[in-house]
Amino acid sequence: MTTELVFENVTKFYGPVIGVNDVTLRIGLGITGLLGSNGAGKSTLMKLASGRLKPSLGQVRIGPHDARRSAAKRLLGYCPDVNAFYEEMTGREFVLTMTRLYGYRLAEARRRTETALERTGMADRAERRIKGCSHGMRQRIKLAQAIAHDPQVLLLDEPLTGIDPGGRREINDLLRALAGEGLTVLVSSHLLQEVEQLCDRLVVVSSGRILADGTLAELRNLLNDEPLTIRLESPQARRAAALCVELSATSHVEVHGDVVTLRTRDPQDFFTQLNRLVVEHTLEIRRLETLDAGAEAVFGYLQRSAS
């Protein structure tokens, strides 16, 4: 059975400043991305979920337990965003020590440490002192200490920062495998493209409130009023622009050399009309792409609509 991370009407004040405002959220099986700009309340949500902060109002639960209780922390794995370690230790010593703090016997902690290092791709590099490790290696060590005790809920604060593209693929594969094993995974990130590729569900936070919650497609559908930008490359760019401007679904046209940039408020209608146009006028189109259908644009739209 999946262990859920639940926020129930959670509000967090920092003195007179409100960090999180009446958030209700239920995060279950799979990978959920938590998106938000700096100061949006993303980190506060992560700290509340990891039991490091106490909500001013409401409750945060991991399974049936209050997030601040020891029982909840046994179910939780947390990979923090801070780049702090016991620098004098080797990666292996650090993960072993952190695992032993769950109360395992030495042999069991060693076995779990090796498994976690293996899964994070650090097994053959873990004898290096942490202070001599690259940022990517440090991220992997943090991830290893978070999964060594087989948590049911995994919180990852900016886990892909500083990791090279190959490494990102490996970490993404690992997170997908963990989610496949029944884990609840919550990833906060500024790397929106990675979140977009990785997550089954996105939660967008702004000014301490949940702005949107759903799959990327669902979020994009929320934005019917927002124009979609389309980039069209053609040797007949001026002719194509002149024809496109006549289409009812087109709201804006710009031409720069061979490139036509168009905006539409009705993408489905626009593409139908464009298809007809291309056939009727035998327009040569080398490349056609939508510029802002990704998470970045969705996030930007949501931010703008919130403000």
Partner 1 sequence: MNTLRAFVTLWLLSFHRLFWSIGTPMLLLPLTACAMFLVRRRYGADLDPVMAFHGFSVFLLRVFAPFVTPLCALAFGTASVGGDREDRTLLFLFIRPLPRGLILLAKFLAAWPLVLGFTCGSFWVFCRLAGPPGRAAFDAYLPAVVYMASAYTALFHLFGALFRHSTIAALIYAVFMEVLLGNVPGVIRRVAINYYGRSLMYDAGVEHGLSAPDPQWFDPYPAHDAKLALWTITAGTLAAAWLVFRTREYEEPT
Question: Would you tell me which residues interact with partner 1 (CB under 8 A)?
Answer: 14, 17, 19, 38-39, 42-44, 47, 50-54, 70-71, 73-74, 76, 78, 80, 82, 84-88, 97-98, 100-105, 145
Residue 130 CB, nearest approach to partner 1 (Å): 11
Report the residue number, 18 or 222, with the smaller CB distance to partner 1.
Answer: 18
* Cβ contacts of 145 within 8 Å, gap of 6 or more: 79, 94, 95, 98, 99, 116
From CA 94, how far away is CA 45, in angstroms rounded? 26
Do residues 66 and 211 touch, judged by C-beta distance below 8 A?
no
Residue 255 CB, nearest approach to partner 1 (Å): 44
Report the residue number, 41 or 250, with the smaller CB distance to partner 1.
Answer: 41
50-55 long-range contacts (CB < 8 A, ≥24 apart) are: 50/76, 50/78, 50/155, 51/76, 53/12, 55/10, 55/11, 55/12, 55/20
Do residues 134 and 83 touch, judged by C-beta distance below 8 A?
no
Among 269, 284, 301, 295, CA closest to 232: 284
Q: How many CB atoms lie within 10 A of CB 177?
A: 11
User: Residue 269 belongs to what H/E stretch?
Assistant: helix 267-280
Report the residue number, 85 or 301, with the smaller CB distance to partner 1.
Answer: 85
From CA 130, how far away is CA 93, in angstroms rounded? 10
Q: How many CB atoms lie within 10 A of CB 204?
A: 25
Rg (CA), the chain: 23
Tokens standing for residue 205? 């936070």
Residue 4 CB, nearest approach to partner 1 (Å): 19
Residue 71 CB, nearest approach to partner 1 (Å): 7
Residue 124 CB, nearest approach to partner 1 (Å): 24
Do residues 3 and 155 touch, judged by C-beta distance below 8 A?
no
User: Does residue 296 sit in helix, strand or coil?
Assistant: helix
Report the residue number, 41 or 121, with the smaller CB distance to partner 1.
Answer: 41
Report the residue number, 82 or 217, with the smaller CB distance to partner 1.
Answer: 82
Report the residue number, 15 or 165, with the smaller CB distance to partner 1.
Answer: 15
Q: Whose structure tokens read 């327009």?
A: 283
Residue 47 CB, nearest approach to partner 1 (Å): 6
Report the residue number, 91 or 273, with the smaller CB distance to partner 1.
Answer: 91
Residue 78 CB, nearest approach to partner 1 (Å): 5
Largest CA distance in the chain: 76
Residue 50 CB, nearest approach to partner 1 (Å): 5
Residue 104 CB, nearest approach to partner 1 (Å): 6
Report the residue number, 70 or 307, with the smaller CB distance to partner 1.
Answer: 70
From CA 2, how far away is CA 8, in angstroms rounded? 18
Report the residue number, 158 or 196, with the smaller CB distance to partner 1.
Answer: 158
From CA 231, how far away is CA 233, in angstroms rounded? 7
